[in-house]
Amino acid sequence: MSISWPTDALTHAKRRSFQRPDWLAPPAWRNAASGLGGLLALLALWWIGTDVLASSDGFIRHFSPTAAIPKLIALLSGPDLPVHILVSLRRVLVGLGLALAVGVPLGLAVGRFQRLNAATSPAFQFLRMISPLSWMPIAVMVFGVGDDPIYFMLAFAAVWPIVLNTAEGVRRLQPAWLSLASSLAATRWETLRHVILPGVLGHVLTGLRLAIGIVWIVLVPCEMLGVSAGLGYFILDTRDRLAYSELMATVLMIGLLGFLLDAGARALYRMATRNA
């Protein structure tokens, strides 16, 4: 079983143990500048491929940044795209909420009971490797057409990293914390509420961040099947209307929102673990 760690968890730990004086640390702006440079280079490649190298009346011109970016701005102030964005974000939130509601208790139990871990871990690996999209026909049969099968598929995709990371968090709880709780005659609930949950929070958030990445990727194809709103639906809609610069603008929007969601998850993780 492999659990991936976000690299900032590692750099965070390193910063703590070395206690490098602030003036020696590489300035944060330099990293930010490098990152920005990379994004600009990406934009330049996109522009060169679709604008500079493309023939002036070519089909490919529809996909260029000079067409897509103004279109995106126009779409964002129009009536449609904001609605599709909100619908998609709501699905993501519901899917993640369900995944947390199932994944955290399950992860706590799996982390706590070695036997349960042994019994479930091959099954989880098996289920985890099934593309959530392959459940689509079954999900529609069970939940009917509409949002419900999408919630199911998103939650199904998101639950595994949350379960695995929560369980790992429980295994890494310091025995001293648990001794402390029992020496204070803590009830089960008090131990859970005051030691275990705050103790695994960092791991849960790591799982959540991975889950957000997966959900955002699974969302778009999910929305291409049997619904009439959302970013995935809108992609197909622009195609059918032959509105190619709108299509490209939507692709750009999907990337942008995913980027922001991940940044949000990262900020949340950093906030929650700043003292650990």
Partner 1 sequence: MTEPASRLSPVLQASQVALRYPGQSRAVIAGFDFALNAGETVSLLGASGVGKSSLLRVLAGLQAPTEGAVTMNGAPLDGVHPRVAVAFQDPSLLPWLTLEKNVAFGLDFKHQPKLARAESAARVEMAIREVGLTQARRKFPTELSGGMAQRTALARCFARKPEILLLDEPFGALDEVTRAEMQHLLLKLVRDFRTAAVLITHDIDEALKVSDRVLLLGGAPASVIGEWRIDLPKPREDLIAELGAIRVEILSTLRAAAPRRAA
- Residues binding partner 1 (CB under 8 A): 16, 174, 176-177, 179-187, 190, 194-195, 198-199, 201, 275-276
**Which residue lies nearer to partner 1 by CB, 13 or 53?**
13
- Please give the structure tokens belonging to residue 66: 């000079």
Query: Cβ of residue 174: shortest distance to partner 1, in angstroms?
Result: 8
**Which residue lies nearer to partner 1 by CB, 73 or 276?**
276
Give the CA radius of gyration of the chain.
23
Measured between alpha carbons, how far is 130 from 265 in angstroms, rounded to an integer?
25
Query: Cβ of residue 20: shortest distance to partner 1, in angstroms?
Result: 15
Helices (H), the chain: 7-18, 28-47, 65-77, 80-112, 114-128, 136-143, 147-171, 175-183, 188-191, 197-222, 231-240, 244-272
First-to-final CA distance of the chain: 25
Query: Cβ of residue 30: shortest distance to partner 1, in angstroms?
Result: 26
Residue 200 near residue 169 (C-beta atoms within 8 A): yes
**Which residue lies nearer to partner 1 by CB, 49 or 199?**
199
Query: Cβ of residue 47: shortest distance to partner 1, in angstroms?
Result: 47
**Which residue lies nearer to partner 1 by CB, 15 or 241?**
15
**CA angle 268–180–207, rounded 5-degree value:** 25
Query: Cβ of residue 266: shortest distance to partner 1, in angstroms?
Result: 19
Work out the number of other CB atoms within 10 angstroms of the CB of residue 195. Answer: 19
Sign, CA dihedral 73-77-79-83, equals positive
C-alpha 67 chain-centroid distance: 29
DSSP per-residue codes, 14-52: HHHHH---GGGSPPHHHHHHHHHHHHHHHHHHHHIIIII
Measured between alpha carbons, how far is 249 from 155 in angstroms, rounded to an integer?
27
**Which residue lies nearer to partner 1 by CB, 140 or 178?**
178
**Which residue lies nearer to partner 1 by CB, 168 or 223?**
168
Query: Cβ of residue 274: shortest distance to partner 1, in angstroms?
Result: 9
Query: Cβ of residue 197: shortest distance to partner 1, in angstroms?
Result: 10
**Which residue lies nearer to partner 1 by CB, 52 or 185?**
185
Query: Cβ of residue 16: shortest distance to partner 1, in angstroms?
Result: 7
**Which residue lies nearer to partner 1 by CB, 131 or 174?**
174
